[in-house]
Amino acid sequence: MRADVNDSNDPQDEEMERILRQATPRGADAALRPRVLAAVARQVGAPARFRWERIYWPAVAAAILLGVLLNYWVAVEGKERLAQIMGPPAVSRRAAELAADIAAITDEATGRWALERLASCYRPRDPFAPSGMRAQHQ
């Protein structure tokens, strides 16, 4: 037995250890060695097992990204379908009034031109536009 830092120097403990060591431990039977080594050889020769835990977090990240992209696609698709059903987006009342004032002061063609320009600036509120742009459009 190897010397150890926590070994007791108590003669009674040493005597007890001597009694214990008098009994020879029975090890594994000789027939077990080839059985174990054959199992080891099979394991070493086996193809590496697929480890699910290696792809767990990348799979979760990919699923979240896919969810975000699908959500965006559904929103855009819904908006386009709504535009097809309802026609082009309405011009805000303020823009129409401003274009009418311009037409009254100048002429009909300038009024239409002003309405087209104002319509592109004063779109109704876009729920998907970033908040800064939304404020600018209003």
Q: How far is CA 18 from CA 21, 26, 87, 132, in A?
A: 5, 17, 99, 85
Minimum gap (Å) between residue 129 Cβ and another protein: 53
Our finding on whether 82 is near another protein (CB under 8 A) is no
**Residue from 5, 85, 86, 109 binding another protein (CB under 8 A):** 5
Gap between the terminal Cα atoms of the chain: 87
x-or-dash string of contact with another protein, 38-57, rule CB under 8 A: -xxx-xx----x--------
Our finding on whether 9 is near another protein (CB under 8 A) is no
3-state secondary structure of 14: helix
- Spell out the residues 6+ positions from residue 40 whose beta carbon is closer than 8 angstroms to its own: none
Minimum gap (Å) between residue 72 Cβ and another protein: 42
- Spell out the residues 6+ positions from residue 28 whose beta carbon is closer than 8 angstroms to its own: none
Our finding on whether 26 is near another protein (CB under 8 A) is yes
Q: Which parts of this chain interact with another protein (CB under 8 A)?
A: 1-2, 4-8, 10, 12-13, 15-17, 19-29, 32-33, 35-37, 39-41, 43-44, 49
